[in-house]
């Protein structure tokens, strides 16, 4: 079966090295079953470059059948999640929980979408609105996909990992969640309180491996030194969280003539996540009705007065290709 291809936009196609010293070492790592795998392409260590990918939802691939190009099989569809990392949980304000999203996702067609590493959290503006940093996107070729999966399954520890490393953790600390569907490995691995600091106990080696993988994925463009494109989402999750009126903040009038308030539906009342609150999928055009610039990275704290007379804080979280709401 031939390689799936990603149609590139008719703009400049950025090419910069993505190979780090850790990535070169990863080329000789054995796979999760401890048997040697075929080395990843580009064994000479020459620079490997991602290609800037189209923003928004990638075009659907012709199929989602497993790739047979490399030693590590994976599906090839535009909505097939092959590798993902997300951090969440702990004691955080609901607005932050509502904007929780994967830090990095590799889709089967080679498209990656990730949140750049941010050293300083965005500050709220005069109206209390906090705008997130815009996500980035690019495309990996099959050789780069193979190298990354080999690293994740080998040095990154996912190949032999169990599902949970939460027992004995810290209740108010976030958990790091890895998802992988490749090489016959289909699992989600949850690690509580993952840290750079060496951890005592039987899981010390596994935790150190997870930290290596998390560090690579959570700074995938190496501080912006790898050229990628801004990710322009075509859909958002909109969440309404009831709030008290605040002095000096004038709520926006309900901005949508075609979206009744009742279309924001509440989820199960168990408090387990943001969809407990009234929520709805919004298109990019719907979000544009707010007339607020710079929201493609997500936004918190937009004060809106609903038709029922109550004031809500609107939270927008970009959606990825595989997400339905």
For residue 302, give the nearest of 92, 91, 95 by alpha carbon.
95
Q: What's the pLDDT tens digit per position in 231-253?
A: 999 999 999 999 998 888 999 99
Between CA 322 and CA 78 the distance in angstroms is 8
> Higher-confidence residue: 283 or 245?
283
For residue 239, give the nearest of 271, 274, 269 by alpha carbon.
274
What number is the average pLDDT over the span 240-269? 92
> Higher-confidence residue: 172 or 2?
172
Supply the pLDDT for residue 170: 80
Supply the pLDDT for residue 94: 75
Please tell me the least confidently modeled range out of 26-30, 182-186, 286-290: 26-30
Please tell me the least confidently modeled range out of 60-69, 78-87, 241-250, 308-317: 60-69
Q: Residue 311 class from Cβ within 10 Å (0-12 exposed, 13-18 middle, 19+ buried)?
A: middle
Backbone angles phi, psi at 286, to 5 degrees: -60, -45
Backbone angles phi, psi at 114, to 5 degrees: -145, 160
Backbone angles phi, psi at 245, to 5 degrees: -55, 145
- Is the C-alpha dihedral spanning 141, 147, 148, 149 positive or negative? positive
What number is the average pLDDT over the span 30-47? 35
Q: Please give the C-alpha separations between residue 190 and each of 91, 125, 185, in angstroms, as whole numbers.
A: 17, 35, 15
- Is the C-alpha dihedral spanning 145, 147, 150, 151 positive or negative? negative
Confidence class of residue 69 from pLDDT cuts 50, 70 and 90?
Answer: low
Between CA 141 and CA 320 the distance in angstroms is 20
Rounded to two decimals, the pTM is: 0.80
In the chain the first and final C-alpha atoms are separated, in Å, by 33
Count the neighbouring beta carbons within 10 Å of the beta carbon of residue 271.
9
Percent of the chain with pLDDT over 70: 77
Question: Is the model's pLDDT at 86 over the cut of 80?
Answer: yes
**At how many degrees (to 10) do helices 142-153 and 204-217 cross?**
150
Locate 298 and state its tokens.
């997500």
Are the CB atoms for 114 and 135 separated by under 8 Å? Answer: yes
Question: Is the model's pLDDT at 32 over the cut of 70?
Answer: no
Between CA 272 and CA 198 the distance in angstroms is 31
> Higher-confidence residue: 177 or 44?
177
Question: Is the model's pLDDT at 62 over the cut of 50?
Answer: no
Supply the pLDDT for residue 68: 54
Locate 177 and state its tokens.
């969640």
Between CA 268 and CA 231 the distance in angstroms is 31
Confidence class of residue 44 from pLDDT cuts 50, 70 and 90?
Answer: very low
Supply the pLDDT for residue 13: 34
- Is the C-alpha dihedral spanning 225, 230, 231, 237 positive or negative? positive
Confidence class of residue 2 from pLDDT cuts 50, 70 and 90?
Answer: very low
Supply the pLDDT for residue 267: 82
Average pLDDT score, the chain: 82
* 3-state percent helix, strand, coil for the chain, nearest multiple of 5: 15, 25, 60
Are the CB atoms for 294 and 226 separated by under 8 Å? Answer: no
Q: Please give the C-alpha separations between residue 308 and each of 158, 224, 238, in angstroms, as whole numbers.
A: 49, 45, 17
Supply the pLDDT for residue 65: 62
Question: Is the model's pLDDT at 25 over the cut of 90?
Answer: no
Confidence class of residue 51 from pLDDT cuts 50, 70 and 90?
Answer: confident
Stretch (H or E) spanning 85: strand 81-88
Confidence class of residue 58 from pLDDT cuts 50, 70 and 90?
Answer: very low
> Higher-confidence residue: 6 or 103?
103
For residue 42, give the nearest of 19, 74, 22 by alpha carbon.
19
């Amino acid at each position: 079966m031939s390689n799936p291809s990603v149609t590139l936009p008719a703009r400049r196609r950025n090419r910069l090295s993505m190979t780090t010293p850790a990535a070169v070492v990863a080329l000789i790592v054995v796979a999760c079953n401890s048997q040697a795998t075929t080395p990843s392409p580009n064994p000479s260590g020459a620079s490997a470059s991602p290609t800037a990918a189209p923003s928004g939802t990638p075009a659907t691939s012709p199929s989602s059948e497993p790739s047979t190009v490399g030693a590590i099989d994976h599906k090839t569809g535009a909505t097939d999640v092959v590798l993902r990392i997300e951090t969440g949980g702990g004691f955080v304000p609901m607005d932050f929980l509502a904007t929780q999203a994967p830090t990095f996702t590799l889709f089967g067609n080679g498209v990656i979408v990730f949140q750049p590493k941010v050293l300083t959290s965005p500050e709220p503006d005069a109206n209390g609105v906090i705008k997130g940093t815009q996500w980035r996107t690019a495309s990996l070729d099959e050789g780069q996909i193979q190298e990354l999966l080999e690293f994740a399954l080998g040095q990154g520890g996912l190949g032999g990992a169990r599902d949970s490393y939460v027992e004995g953790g810290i209740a108010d600390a976030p958990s790091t969640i890895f998802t992988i569907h490749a090489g016959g490995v289909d699992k989600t691995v949850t690690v509580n309180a993952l840290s750079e600091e060496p951890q005592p106990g039987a899981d010390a080696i596994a935790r150190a491996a997870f930290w290596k993988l998390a560090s690579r994925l959570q700074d995938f463009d190496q501080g912006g030194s790898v050229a990628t494109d801004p990710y322009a989402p075509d859909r958002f999750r909109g969440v309404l969280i009831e709030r008290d009126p605040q002095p000096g903040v004038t709520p926006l009038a309900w901005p949508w003539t075609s979206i009744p308030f009742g279309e924001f539906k509440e989820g199960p009342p168990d408090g387990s996540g943001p969809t407990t609150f009234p929520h709805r999928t919004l298109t990019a055009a719907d979000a544009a009705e707010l007339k607020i610039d710079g929201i493609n990275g997500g936004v918190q704290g937009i004060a809106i007065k609903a038709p029922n007379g109550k004031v809500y804080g609107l939270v927008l979280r970009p959606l990825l290709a595989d997400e339905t709401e």
